[in-house]
Amino acid sequence: MKLKTLISALASVLLIGSQVAHADKWGDQFPHIAATGDIPGMCSYESMSKKDYSGRTLTINTHAIPVMGEPTALHAEQFEKLTGAKVEVTHTPAGDLYSKAMVPFQAGQAPYDIVFGFSNFINDWKRYLAPVPQEYVDQMEGVSASHKAIASWDGVMYQYPVDGDRHYLKYRKDVIDNPEMQAKYKADTGNELKVPTTWKEYGEMASYFNGWDWDGDGEPEYGSAEVMKKDDLMYAAFYSRSVAYAKNPSTPGGFFFDLETMEPLINNPGFVEALTDWVDAVNYVPPGGINFGLGDEINSFGGGQTLFSFSWDDAFVAAMQPDSPISNQVGAAQLPGADKVWNRENGMWDAKSNQAPFFVWGWAVGVAGKSDNKDVAFDYLCFFANGANHQADIGIGRFGVNPFMEEDFKADVWTQIGWDKDIAQSYVETLADMEKSTNRVFPLRVPGTFEFNSALATGTAKALAGQLSPQAALDEVYAEWVAILERVGADNVRDAYAVGVKMEDNEL
């Protein structure tokens, strides 16, 4: 028995040794993974090098460079070198990713083997995508449960996990934690300067730190950078501001609609309160902030222009990169909450503290059902998200690849790339706490998602521009949502929405 154990141990040592040797070899050959080398697995560099796809051509439609477009192109080049396949990458602006895939999908064609988009496309795209083969799903042991759920529909995974996104608060640690600033803020406002736990506190602090040079760089700074540009993901920012007021754990059964009646909830007092806050925010964003898209928001907060921001990880990772003027001066925390939350069952406010994480959709990618290269396509995606590539990608803000593996929620991963230990710890705790929350909101993933979100963007944009009051704007959105339900069919929407509601109500 002892001999058997000894042989087994020796075999393990030899196996590990051979893997390290591979890691060194591949790390030398591909500088992108120099820090980790190859990490063994089904889709590692070593495994891919054994495949021969010579004479096969893979076509990919992805986002513009850099966000997601740059890693797609980089991994395509690596994949070509390893397997001999030819990979043609097309870059498309975010707003056109949906239609660029949908037009050929509906025409029964597959000009692209792989299509990149967002996870909330799943309902419209799933009938045109090939399910992820079980062998690939089986090797995703490290992918977080919530992310697997987002990538799947009715237990079938259609989108290959390459990115995990959620909205959370980012703040300037050098200001919020600064005793001098805390004393000044207290003297001027009578309130404590701390990480805001409600949107009201967020607004008060952002207003106070708006329009003056509080970091001594000779330029005025501002309160908050937010995505407010219509048709540039602004609806996601609005949902983030709404969850605190409108996601009541005491009233399960739907955040966007009442699942039973399919009555849109978008103009209830919870959402109106959030929009009222957001209209106030126009006063504490940088000049032109009402036209900020995601890129502007990343650059504004990442460039040290504002005290707060809330959206995807990209702004935080960009702010933490060594070339950032505020590297290691930022903190992460849960989205602010509220002191009250709307109770749609009794039609009154519940006077209690409420906070709800918003799991915004992230980048998602699928393989066309009509593709003739499904085997190559899934290998490419598996390679894209392999351990070595993933660890290298998540440390580069502009890549847009954000944590979704259990491993990513460990502080060591981030301290290894130069983050201060306490910042790394608060970052991973923020992400992990969101995973643990039982009051989460998931993105709307129903037929006609784009119509619902576009109507919301139009209505909220009118309120931000002062064309309509918050209530009138959301009443307009409500009317439009009712019309969309009529066109698409309330039952069709309900069937799809029920899946999301189950996740929100912790039944899945």
Partner 1 sequence: MNFKHKYVFLLPGLIVLIGILIFPIIFTVRLSLSGWNSFNPGLDFIGFKNYVRLFTDDPRFWQSFFRLSFLAITTVFLQYIIGFALAHMVWKDIKFKRFFRVLFLIPMMTTPVIMTVIWRTFFHESLGPLNDFLSIFGVQPPWLSSPSLAKVSIIVVEVWQWTSFMFLLMLAGLLSLPKEPFLAAAVDGASPFKKFIYVTFPLMAPISIGAIIIRLIEASKIMDTVFVLTSGGPGTSTETSSFFIFIKGLREFQMGYAATASFTYLIIMIISLTIIVKVLTKVLMRE
Tell me the Ramachandran region of residue 448: left when phi exceeds 0, alpha when psi lies from -120 to 50, beta otherwise: left
Between residues 291 and 346, which has the closer beta carbon with respect to partner 1?
291
Of the residues 287, 322, 436, 507, which one makes contact with partner 1 according to CB under 8 A: 287
User: What three-state secondary structure class fits 385?
Assistant: coil
> Which residues neighbour 464 within 8 Å (Cβ) at sequence distance 6 or greater?
228, 278, 279, 282, 290
How far is the C-alpha of 496 from the C-alpha of 501, rounded, in Å? 9
Of the residues 98, 118, 238, 481, which one makes contact with partner 1 according to CB under 8 A: 98
Between residues 248 and 309, which has the closer beta carbon with respect to partner 1?
309
CB of residue 24 to partner 1, shortest distance in Å: 44
**Segment contacting partner 1 by CB under 8 A, of 287-295, 310-318, 337-345, 416-424:** 287-295
Tell me the Ramachandran region of residue 447: left when phi exceeds 0, alpha when psi lies from -120 to 50, beta otherwise: beta
Nearest alpha-carbon partner for 502 in 152, 245, 211, 263: 152
Maximum distance among all alpha carbons in the chain?
81
What track of x and - describes contact with partner 1 for positions 200 through 229 (by CB under 8 A)?
Answer: -----------------------------x
**Segment contacting partner 1 by CB under 8 A, of 7-15, 90-98, 268-276, 342-350:** 90-98
Q: Which parts of 354-393 interact with partner 1 (CB under 8 A)?
A: none
**Segment contacting partner 1 by CB under 8 A, of 94-102, 133-141, 194-202, 430-438:** 94-102
Which tokens hold the place of 416? Answer: 């290894």
Radius of gyration of the chain (CA): 24
Q: Do 255 and 265 touch, CB atoms closer than 8 A?
A: yes
Of the residues 24, 28, 96, 217, which one makes contact with partner 1 according to CB under 8 A: 96
CB of residue 305 to partner 1, shortest distance in Å: 7
Q: Is 297 among the residues that bind partner 1 (CB under 8 A)?
A: no
Of the residues 163, 201, 226, 232, which one makes contact with partner 1 according to CB under 8 A: 232
What track of x and - describes contact with partner 1 for positions 411 through 430 (by CB under 8 A)?
Answer: --------------------
Q: Which parts of 10-39 interact with partner 1 (CB under 8 A)?
A: none
Which tokens hold the place of 265? Answer: 């909830």
Between residues 166 and 462, which has the closer beta carbon with respect to partner 1?
462
Of the residues 159, 248, 305, 327, which one makes contact with partner 1 according to CB under 8 A: 305
CB of residue 93 to partner 1, shortest distance in Å: 10
CB of residue 94 to partner 1, shortest distance in Å: 11
CA distances from 398 to 78, 314, 316 (A): 19, 7, 11
**Segment contacting partner 1 by CB under 8 A, of 49-57, 288-296, 355-363, 364-372:** 288-296
Of the residues 48, 275, 290, 364, which one makes contact with partner 1 according to CB under 8 A: 290
Q: Which parts of 444-483 interact with partner 1 (CB under 8 A)?
A: 447-448, 450-451, 454, 458, 461-468, 483
> Which residues neighbour 98 within 8 Å (Cβ) at sequence distance 6 or greater?
117, 118, 121, 124, 450
Omega before 470 cis (within 30°)? Answer: no
Between residues 321 and 458, which has the closer beta carbon with respect to partner 1?
458
Question: Any idea what DSSP says for residue 336?
Answer: P
Nearest alpha-carbon partner for 49 in 94, 4, 81, 90: 81
Q: Do 22 and 45 touch, CB atoms closer than 8 A?
A: yes
CA distances from 17 to 12, 21, 46, 47 (A): 8, 6, 14, 16
Q: Site for partner 1 (CB under 8 A): how many residues?
A: 37
Q: Do 212 and 347 touch, CB atoms closer than 8 A?
A: no
Of the residues 276, 469, 489, 508, which one makes contact with partner 1 according to CB under 8 A: 489
User: What three-state secondary structure class fits 85?
Assistant: coil
User: What three-state secondary structure class fits 368?
Assistant: strand
Query: Would you tell me which residues interact with partner 1 (CB under 8 A)?
Result: 95-96, 98-99, 102, 106, 124, 229-232, 286-291, 305, 447-448, 450-451, 454, 458, 461-468, 483, 487-489, 492
